[in-house]
Amino acid sequence: MMMMMMMMMTIPQPTTIEPSSQMSALTVFSPEQLAVLSPAVQQVATHLNLYIDEATIASRIEALAQQLNQTYENIDELTIICVLKGSFMFLSDLVKHLNFPVKVEFIRLASYGNNTQSSGKVKTVDLTLPSLEGKHVLILEDIIDTGLTLSFLVSYLKDLHQTASLKLAVFLDKPTARNPEAKHITVDFIAFSIENSFVVGYGLDFSGHFRQLPFVATYTGPALTE
Report pLDDT for 8: 38
pLDDT tens digits for the chain (226 residues)? 444 344 334 445 566 766 554 456 778 888 898 899 999 999 999 999 999 999 999 999 999 999 999 999 999 999 999 999 999 999 999 999 999 999 999 999 876 555 555 556 677 778 889 999 999 999 999 999 999 989 999 999 999 899 999 999 999 999 999 999 988 899 999 999 999 999 999 999 998 999 999 999 999 888 876 5
Report pLDDT for 124: 76
Q: Per DSSP, which regions of the chain are E strands?
A: 15-16, 48-52, 78-84, 102-110, 123-126, 136-144, 165-173, 189-193, 199-200, 216-219
H or E segment to which residue 2 belongs: helix 2-8
Dist. CA 193–CA 71, nearest whole Å: 21
What pTM value is reported for the model? 0.85
Dist. CA 150–CA 139, nearest whole Å: 9
For Cα atoms 196, 201, 202, give the angle at the middle one, nearest 5 degrees: 110
Report pLDDT for 115: 54
Report pLDDT for 16: 72
Which residues are catalytic, by number? 145
Report pLDDT for 97: 98
The domain 54-209 is placed in CATH, from the list 3.40.1390.10, 3.40.50.720, 3.40.50.2020, 3.30.1370.10, at 3.40.50.2020
Report pLDDT for 1: 40
- In 3-state terms, what secondary structure has residue 151? helix
Dist. CA 103–CA 37, nearest whole Å: 38
